Amino acid sequence: MEIKRSPLLAALLSLAIPGLGQVYAGQRYRGVSILIGSLVAAGMVFWYGDPLWYFVPVVIQLWNAWDAFSLAGQGRARSILIPVVFAMAAAYTIGWQVVGIDFAAADANRALQILRPMLRPDFIQPRREVNSMYVPVEVPCSPQPAQARREEDGKTAMVMPDCGRVGETMIVNVTGLWPNTETEIVWNTPIGNALMLGGNEDAMLKMQTDETGALTTAIRVPRTALVAAPDPTLPQNHRVVVYQYRPLGGIELSYIGGEVAHGALATVGMALIATVLAVIFAIPISFLAAHNLMSGNPVTYAIYFVVRTLLNILRSIESLIIAIVFVVIVGLGTFAGALALALHSIAALAKLYSEVIEGIDPGPIEAIRATGANWLQTVRYAVIPQIIPPFTAFTIYRWDINVRSATIVGFVGGGGLGFLLIELIRVNNMQGVSAVFITIAVIVTAMDYISAKIRERLV
């Protein structure tokens, strides 16, 4: 026998507590959903505090009472379009204002100053002969710093004092260079990242040698010399490097172009190493995280629950955050980036692999188990033949993802193109930034094409 509900009472209950009238009318899930949605909308509006939007919770509440009245009286639910439209309009407008979007603040002149150099990417330069010399410098000072002096091929370079702090002034003296030749002076960090010393550390410092091939100049330890160091209080060997050039005719890779090429190889290699390591560990872990294989007894089910929980935790932490941890543990460079990508990829691939295993045809598994086969035999003869094609597809797809992610982890010291990009942005070298952008686009496009072809052949 159908129980009659009072439409008026349902409407009053929903006015008192959003969704209560729907629960009274027998629609529990609808009532709970309306309660949660109403609280979220009201909380957003009252948190923002603009009286202009106070009408949104009122409209939602009136609709809520109307919906409860209709459910109790006619058994028909009203369309949720009205509350959704009002709530989304409020959310979008409030979000717009909270973010502070102001197109009038855009500076067209500043944009052109950035974009114009990017139209001339720094890849190549006229071919030239290079004469270089460097001297190691400790930053910051150790209790007994090594002498900042070096001799090579008749050239001598020295820095006074032998060590220093960020921002401290030093005197550089180099002899034995080409005479009367323009000379560039740069600062190299322990991982080989070049920092400019001219202007406000955003321009190349250039000096002229005298007729004997000597030069002396004052420099300052760059502000960004220790920005990516795992521990800025520990002394590290930096370098002051001088370069001279003579034209030879033709063209060659520029210094930035060479760094971009090196960074591209490091980025692709980092992604490949991370993916291989991830596959090695993810495959066995995925079998432990598959419900249909591990639900046979309490012990295996407990293992399944623990493994699945750990995978969820690891996947919830971005590879960028993991890279920061590994930079502290193993230092700057691509090794830290590869470890970070590998750890995150293990969790991601193991989850994908386990879902593939859970979705396979259960018939072969049941047939193998019926013969008395153990767990390993079941996996070998009933599971593996079904999972090879999707495993291959997911692995290639993850490699594609890791190529993109390898650029991002470089922002925090993980090496590769990302580290070069952040340094070029820091010194406002937009021609170099453009070269990196183009290289990243080429790599991603090429990897996407290659991975698609591999999937066509193997899957």
User: Secondary structure of the chain: what % helix, strand, coil (to 5)?
Assistant: 60, 15, 25
Q: Are 163 and 145 in contact (CB under 8 A)?
A: yes
Tell me phi and psi for residue 164, to 5 degrees: -170, 175
Question: Could you tell me how many residues make up the chain?
Answer: 459
Q: Are 230 and 332 in contact (CB under 8 A)?
A: yes
User: How far apart are alpha carbons 89 and 344 in whole angstroms?
Assistant: 37
pTM above 0.75, yes or no: no
Tell me which amino acid residue 12 is. L
Q: Are 368 and 298 in contact (CB under 8 A)?
A: no
Tell me which amino acid residue 453 is. K
Give the ranges where 240-383 is alpha helix by DSSP (H): 255-288, 291-294, 298-316, 319-330, 334-358, 362-370, 375-378
What is the tens place of the pLDDT at every residue in 421-437? 888 888 788 899 999 99
The rounded percent of the chain whose pLDDT value lies above 70 is 98
Structure tokens at 359: 């979705």
What is the tens place of the pLDDT at every residue in 74-124? 888 888 898 899 999 988 988 888 887 777 777 788 888 888 888 889 888
What is the tens place of the pLDDT at every residue in 30-79? 899 999 999 999 998 888 888 888 888 899 999 999 999 998 888 888 88
Tell me which amino acid residue 224 is. T
